[in-house]
Amino acid sequence: MNNKDFIFDGCNMTEIAAKYGTPLYVMSESSILKKCQEIKSDFLDKYPNTRAVFASKAFQTLEICRMVVQEGLGLDTVSGGEIYTAHKAGVPMEFLDFHGNNKTLEEIKMAVDYNVGRIVVDNLYELEALQEYAQKVNKKVKILFRITPGVDCHTHKFITTGQLDSKFGIPLENGILKDFIRRALDMENIELMGFHFHVGSQLATNESHLAALNIALDLMKDVKQTLGFETKELNIGGGFGIHYTGDDKTVKVSEFMDPIMNELYAKCDQYQLAVPQITIEPGRWIVGEAGVTLYTVGSIKEIPGIRKYIGVDGGMTDNIRPGLYGAKYQAVLANKMNQASKEKVTIAGKCCESTDILIYDMELPEVESGDTLAVFSTGAYCYSMSSNYNKIPRPAVVMVKDGKDRLIVKRETYEDMISREI
Ligand SMILES: Cc1ncc(COP(=O)(O)O)c(C=O)c1O
């Protein structure tokens, strides 16, 4: 058995890098399926009247849409493009939730025309536009209101969304939400099903979800008493944390969800509320750890006594997260797995931007030009946030499983990049 090369879902990453070129996103199908199966056994099958949707924004391609739907999940979408991709993948449109803090009129029409399952309404502008269009085409549209529970979760401030001062959601204060509910209940072409919240991302504990759940349950009790509205559905968002570096912990579905479901049942009983359907919408948790990005080492620059920069053939164009919010990653030399760490290096991307540093100060075996660097946990928010900055083509995506590899997204070409330019 070769102990020199990094083996990922049965595939040799040095050989995969040579076969497809670098930079390259590699996704482990076994890992994605395992996550979907944990959601099924520890949430969907365990609790009646529950749904799970994959947050497409984390990583959306035709193939991933087909895979997660096959595993019994729906899809959370946030744009016309994500709806279109799901549609092209053959996903039944009733499996879709459609989010967004500023859906365009075109997107609203598209969601209604495509019969998207749930539209998560964020503001009055959207509610009125929805009613107007649904009336025009004589349809009844199922909606949830996205609320801002005002919970401050302990994660990076750029990936926190549930606190009061947020561009997302409707504040509970000052009667704003109640006013929206009254209006929705009066609209002939709108069917209000319930509420949605999303407290933040990369959460190690369910503390914020529990706090937000309690706020939502108080709201449900209040609107039942004051407006006679019985909540049928509650979507508690995504945000389950994964392992990137150090002590990061991959959340277990049962540990995260059992206390939430227990609290839900107890409070519904206490408040005499019908238990609503509960939806979760994890993105990162399903695909994050399934992804590895492979790079080839090129330039090596040592500034004596200061720092050794290792230049790789990708960077912020395929992984903006370190530059955007200081995200941390771990990596190995995929062709030197049998060698001990020898030097402290900093991994630099190839873009014309000083923040284009993928990893600061990590230990690696002696690095040489031509080595293959594998960066872990890049399955979420890397491909989906990739760009053509510096006119760098986006990498290909290869799916691996039990020693087999298949291309699911072709590498972009120079010609692709100018194909829309006139
Ligand atoms: C509304 C909503 N749902 C789900 C998610 C998915 O979050 P995560 O990938 O952390 O599970 C997000 C992420 O921003 C979101 O805004």
- Which amino acid, 393? P
Which pLDDT belongs to residue 160? 52
Are domains 7-26+290-418 and 47-285 of this chain identical in fold? no
Give the Cα separation of 305 and 70 in Å (integer). Answer: 54
Task: Assign domain 7-26+290-418 to its CATH architecture.
Answer: Beta Barrel (2.40)
Percent of the chain's residues with pLDDT above 90: 93
Q: Is the pLDDT of residue 164 over 80?
A: no
Kindly list the domain boundaries of the chain, sorted by start residue: 7-26+290-418, 47-285
How would residue 153 be classed by pLDDT, with cut points 50, 70 and 90? Answer: low
283 is in an annotated binding site: yes
Catalytic residue numbers, as ranges: 352
pLDDT in tens, 40-60: 999 999 999 999 999 999 999
Task: Band the pLDDT of 279: cuts 50, 70, 90.
Answer: very high
Distance (angstroms) between ligand 1 centre and the Cα of 166 equals 14
Residue in this structure with the two tokens 């990922």, named with its chain if needed: 8
Q: Is 295 annotated as a binding residue?
A: no
Ligand 1 centre distance from Cα of residue 120 (Å): 13
Whether residue 133 is annotated as binding a ligand: the answer is no
Spatial CA neighbour of 293 closest among 379, 420, 353, 194 = 379
Run of H or E residues at 381 = none
Average pLDDT for 288-297: 98
User: pLDDT tens for residues 190-223?
Assistant: 999 999 999 999 999 999 999 999 999 999 999 9
Percentages of the chain per state (helix, strand, coil), in multiples of 5: 35, 25, 40
Question: CA-CA distance, 307 to 343, in Å (whole number)?
Answer: 10
Closest CA to ligand 1's atom 5: 238
Given the CA of residue 288, which atom of ligand 1 is nearest to it? 9
Query: 212 with 236: CB under 8 angstroms?
Result: yes
Count the Cβ atoms, other than its own, within 10 Å of residue 62: 15
pLDDT value at residue 3: 83
Ligand 1 pocket check: which of 43, 53, 57 to mutate, most ligand atoms within 8 Å of Cβ?
57
Which residues lie with the beta carbon below 6 Å from any ligand 1 atom?
A: 55, 58, 76, 99, 161, 198, 201, 237-240, 281-285, 380
**Ligand 1 geometric centre to CA of 366 (Å):** 39
Is 325 annotated as belonging to a binding site? yes
Structure confidence at residue 155 (pLDDT): 53
Nearest to 82 by CA among 95, 72, 70, 71: 95
For 374-398, what is the mean pLDDT? 98
pLDDT, residue 168, reads 87
Tell which atom from ligand 1 comes closest to the C-alpha of 58. 9
Ligand 1 centre to CA of 101 (Å) is 13
Picking from 323, 316, 345, the residue whose alpha carbon sits closest to that of residue 333 is: 345
* Six token digits for residue 56: 């497409």
Q: How far is ligand 1, taken at its centre, from the CA of residue 246, in Å?
A: 23
CATH class of the 47-285 domain in this structure: alpha beta
pLDDT tens digit string along 364-375?
Answer: 999 999 999 999
For a substitution probing ligand 1, which of 161, 281, 378 has the most ligand atoms within 8 Å of its CB?
281
Q: Give φ, ψ of 101 to 5 degrees.
A: -85, -10
239 annotated binding-site participant: yes
Mean pLDDT of the chain, nearest integer: 96
pLDDT for 337 equals 97
- State the pLDDT confidence band at 173, using cuts at 50, 70 and 90: confident
Give every CB contact of residue 324 below 8 A, 6+ residues apart in sequence. 158, 385
What pLDDT does 317 receive?
Answer: 98
